[in-house]
Amino acid sequence: MSAHRDPRLPDRRRRPRAARPLAACVVAFALVLAGGAAAGAAVVPRAAVPHHAADGHYLVTLKGQPAATYDGTLDGLARTTADPGARLDVRSDAVERYTDHLAHAQRSVADSIGATPTHEYSLTTNGFSASLTAAQVRALGHDADVLSVEPDRMLHGRSTPAMRSLGLEGGHGLWAAAGGVERAGAGTVIGVIDTGIAADNPSFAGAPLGSSPGDEPYRDGQGITFRKADGGDFRGACETGDGFTAADCSTKVIGARSFVAGWDASGNPLGPQERRSPRDVSGHGSHTASTAAGDADVPADIRGRGLGAIAGVAPAAKVAAYKACWNGPDPTDDMDDGCALSDVVAAIDQATADGVDVINLSIAFDGPALDDEQRALLGAASAGISVAAAAGNAGPDAGTVSNAEPWITTVAAGSVPDSYLATVTLGDGRKYAGGSITVSSRVSGPLVRASAVGVAGARSPGRCGKGTLDPAKAKGRIVQCDRGVSARLEKGDEVRRVGGIGMVLTDVEADTEDLDAHSVPTVHLDADARPAVAAYAATAGATATLTPGDTSGVERPAPQVADFSSRGPVAEDGGDLIKPDITAPGVDILAASADVDGRPGFALESGTSMSSPHIAGLALVYLGLHPRATPAEVKSAMMTTATDTVDAQGAAVTDPFAQGAGEIAPGRYLHPGLVYASGPRDWAGFAAETGLALPDPAAPVPVAQLNLPSLAVGSLTADRTITRTVTSQTAGTWAASVQGLDGVDVTVTPARLTFTGPGQTRAFRVRLSPRAGGASDAWSTGSLTWSGPGGTVRSPVAVRPREVDAPPSATGTGSTGEVAVTVTPGVTGRIDLTASGLVPGRVLRPSTGPRTGPTGSVAEGDRFDHPITVAAGVRALVIDAVPRDGVSDLTLELARVAADGSSEVVETRTSSSPSERIVLTAPPAGRYVVGVQAEAVAGSAKEADVDVTRYDVTAARGQGSFAVAPAQLPVTQGRKATWTASWSGLAAGARYVGLVSYSGTDTTTLVDVVTPPMSTSTPTSTPTPTPTPTPTPTPTPTPSAPAATTPAPTPSVVSAPVAAGTPPDARRPSRRAARIGLT
């Protein structure tokens, strides 16, 4: 359950540009929150209930503050929020009285509509989940105590090198600095929200629990109590059930709970191997837990192959498992596995109640976040809990990062040096190193291509599927097999069946070199090696030798940001927030897994699921030494001491949207020198600025002004000043310096900061000025470094100078009308405006059936595809997918078809709106496929009828008249300017799309016009407020990742959800995500 599918399952179509994680286990949700208001302006709250309510399971959030953020404003109820550096005291009289108050309010709301809650939340968020009818949802929309009602929908998708890389061991390693391996993380507890835990794995070995208080955890009535390093108590429970007994908890595993009510409410059955208990049957939760806090010196093997001893980053820490993710009924298909949002929120609330110090969340989304999950994590962080979360596995495209809120430490995945390698030496002497854990000794023999030794009439024998190879041709040979179609392990089994002595598994396109326990000695080579190896294997007398280790002589620089690791920036935040925050090992990580045939299991996995627990473990070590540190301090310490990753040539990478602050440096972060502090009120200001509704809204804080250990400005059209404050950990003077940032002048004032002792704060200002003649519309990256006593404190910086800052869309109505658009120029002079369109949409029709029928009908979980051809010269291609019932939830996908028939996903869109839209500017001519998947079908209907409409905007004159005035817009740098789009002569009852381009830039504004059905209606126009621009930019430069390169920045993609019957851009773009899944 990592970045890549189970090796026993077939590889799916590669989606290198899809904005969705290639995760082994995915559950999806689609929720909309208004976003994209002008910087500094409060965002108008969205409607409390979905536009199209249907019977289902929902999360209901009330307007009262949860205990983690309650500030004591109610008469008779004291403040409950924790002081800085302290944890929320969930057992205090104040918290107990206040949560009783919340529980009464929740019951009152639930009783008012006759609902029975499945979960109740009071610590990190205030609300409940319940199965509701459409009428009950609508009734809640009129309840003054309700903040929001959001659907809990289940959508279906799809010594080790790391220890050495982090420098944990040795006299100068992290464990030594923490007081030894037995003290690394001592007195701390991690809450792992995942698939449960295999508590009998030796990574979680502990002594039986006693019943007497002391330094070790002990049974206290029905619970487990542990006195922590911060002086507080962890009080957990050991929930028993199928395959999990009270004896599975110990002095190591001191909490085990499961949350399944949301899953059950979805109607999804559990898989035949799943257990209704904290028992982990998939391995994902055990892997993440042992990576963070597994015991030290644990021998690990896979299929009997010894791979050395493993250890968690914080082996002295305790583990509490919160199982919120489950296996679906089909063991051969991971697409029916996942986590219900209501269960995840319940797990966060319970982990906070129990008193964990750190939460690891190896769950990610197709976009920044989901409201309820982020409100809960905000509550957890406000309660003093550090949260590490996966950035997602949707890389290498820009704008794909998940878990991107400032109260989270968002973690990218990097490679590690000295990974598990073997070498293929061809008979002509050429050598190629690849991934392998099965070549333990030299293997030599004839080399053949699988396609040449296939059974007559076999389909795709080159992929080595079951029954495709001929024993008479393959026996005694090393077989070169291509990846794809069949499961990876199946390929090795087929080679073994026919008597092959080894396998060279080659990627056909860029992917990872997976470390599978094949049944024959195997080396997995990347796509770059395939042409030469395959061509040689086809020659007469070809031979090959497989040898352990890398003897190729070709350097493999590390750490590199993995190809799959999701990238920033976060378009919905205007590009003013750098995410991910940091990089940690996430490729080929060896850790505990689920039991295999009754024996403890181990697995090698790749994904940001694997990098996140490394950061969680490092947070535990930090808190063991600094128990009163705040989440912001822990994150700042890690980020400001990180070092750059490298590209494939070994050169330093400076792209913060790939690496964040860089690779974690455990040797330095325990004593950073300076700290960037922030807390609940700062985070509430961010929520107000970006549209995340909270029970007690704060004054908006511009995203760029948050006191984070990173700086970003997504649109720099004139001089701008950013303020930061640092807190000292020791006396001394620090001097500022700036690295990189080509095309931008940077001034830091004051340039020197002096502290006479620890705990003092000093503010400084960073002035950013676009340099005349500098590059525009491209990201300029670099860093700001403070050098002082004992080291340096470095922050990543990203700035995007813009020639013009314009909204991506504007909407209007009427057969005749106009709309004004306001822009901010980054130059002085004139900007030429070019109008293209307006063009009406064309509904795609099936090749057979009535011409008035839908484009397709699709059952829940299924999809249909429709091929299209895009001509040369198209300036904008717009695809809308609308369910005729106005309720069913869809995923819309656009893929480009290559000459060889393979396809590459260009864009995927899923939101809470029933309808979806994709906009592609300057698309290359050629063949494409539009795909529509039904994530949820309304009511009792078996299928949803869907209309797909395309708009092709070209330079040719459109229908009616469409013009912009003035055609040459006079501008002064930094001063807003307005132009007007006008139209006339449009047919009634139609939708039209046009495009306005700005000379010398890639910036465009899409103009969407809807005409009323009655031609006699009075034309009107609706100006669209100018939002903070939300294009999806491509960072420059983008680091090279193993076996992959980042696609070029064009064509650019802008997406927005479309509500049925509503102009698609009449509302603010969705800020929230579509998919949740293990990463």
Tokens matching residue 660: 């964040």
**Cα separation, 595 vs 358, whole angstroms:** 26
**Cα separation, 409 vs 671, whole angstroms:** 18
**Cα separation, 1005 vs 983, whole angstroms:** 15
**Cα separation, 341 vs 332, whole angstroms:** 24
Radius of gyration of the chain measured on its C-alpha atoms? 28
Instruction: Centre a 10 Å sphere on the Cβ of residue 131 and count the other Cβ atoms it contains.
Output: 19
Instruction: Centre a 10 Å sphere on the Cβ of residue 650 and count the other Cβ atoms it contains.
Output: 12
**Cα separation, 1029 vs 571, whole angstroms:** 8
| Residues ≥6 apart with Cβ < 8 Å to 30 | 151, 153, 155, 889, 910, 911, 912, 913, 935, 1074
Helices (H), 266-333: 284-293
**Cα separation, 405 vs 391, whole angstroms:** 11
Is-cis flag, bond preceding 966, omega within 30?
yes
Question: Is 497 strand, coil or helix?
Answer: helix
Residue with tokens 């910036």: 1003
Residue of 5, 65, 54 whose CA lies nearest to 30: 54
**Cα separation, 165 vs 171, whole angstroms:** 15
Question: Is 553 strand, coil or helix?
Answer: coil
Tokens matching residue 362: 């190896």
Tokens matching residue 420: 């598990």
Residue of 48, 155, 18, 40 whose CA lies nearest to 109: 48
Tokens matching residue 1072: 């929230």
- C-beta of residue 877 within 8 angstroms of C-beta of residue 923: yes
CA atoms within 13 A on the CB side of 1001: 25
Cα separations in angstroms, 1000 against 806, 997, 1050: 14, 9, 15
- From start to end of 491-646, where are the E strands? 502-506, 522-525, 543-548, 582-585, 589-596, 599-605
H or E element that contains 79? none
What single DSSP character describes residue 490?
A: H
The catalytic residues are 194, 284, 609
- C-beta of residue 848 within 8 angstroms of C-beta of residue 923: no
N-terminal to C-terminal alpha carbon distance within the chain = 7
Look at the alpha carbons of 7, 13, 14, 17 in this order and tell me if their dihedral is positive or negative: negative
Instruction: Centre a 10 Å sphere on the Cβ of residue 92 and count the other Cβ atoms it contains.
Output: 13
DSSP assignments along 930-984, one per residue: EEEEEEE--TT-SEEEEEEEEEEE-SSB-SSEEEEESSEEEE-TTS-EEEEEEEE
Residue of 1073, 1075, 1079 whose CA lies nearest to 31: 1073
Question: Is 272 strand, coil or helix?
Answer: coil
- C-beta of residue 1011 within 8 angstroms of C-beta of residue 987: yes
Backbone angles phi, psi at 140, to 5 degrees: -65, -30
